[in-house]
């Protein structure tokens, strides 16, 4: 599952010139990896607090804007890690934070799309080590 999250991060950050230009060229791979690592970690935490994968995906699907509690929590974790671990300046962390709602939107869309098997609720459950929150049947 990490590889799928990393692919989403690379696609979203690399496809947005404003974000890509805010990251030093020699640190792009390191930043992509750290963002994916933090997303993986924060998604696991949010799934546990939202009642499982089903609750998390429901929250992400219903609140795709920055400003939602789930998105804010994930953004805070990612931005904090980028600033403390990689020492990125506020311009870079701010640009990455602005890209996170798009990454989360694509993540939720893929997980809820029965025609896309790259990310599934069941796969998320196994990967993140949390249950579906009783909603697994809704995604079939």
DSSP assignment of 23-54: S-GGGHHHHHHHHHHHHHHHHHHHHHHTTSHH
Closest CA to 129 of 36, 52, 35: 52
Q: What's CA 112's distance to the chain center, in Å?
A: 15
- pLDDT value of residue 131: 53
Write out residues in the chain with pLDDT < 70, as ranges: 62-67, 128-140
């Amino acid at each position: 599952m990490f590889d799928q999250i990393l692919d989403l991060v690379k696609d979203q950050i690399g496809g947005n010139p404003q974000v890509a230009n805010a990251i030093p060229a020699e640190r792009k791979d390191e930043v992509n990896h750290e963002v994916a690592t933090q997303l993986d970690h924060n998604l696991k935490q949010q799934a546990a607090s939202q009642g499982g994968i089903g609750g998390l995906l429901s929250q992400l699907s219903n609140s795709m804007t920055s400003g939602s509690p789930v998105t804010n929590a994930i953004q805070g974790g990612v931005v904090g890690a980028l600033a403390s671990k990689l020492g990125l300046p506020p311009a870079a962390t701010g640009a990455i934070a602005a890209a996170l709602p798009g990454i989360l939107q694509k993540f939720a869309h893929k997980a809820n799309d029965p025609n896309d098997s790259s990310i599934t609720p069941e796969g998320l459950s196994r990967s993140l080590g949390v249950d579906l929150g009783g909603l697994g049947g809704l995604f079939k």
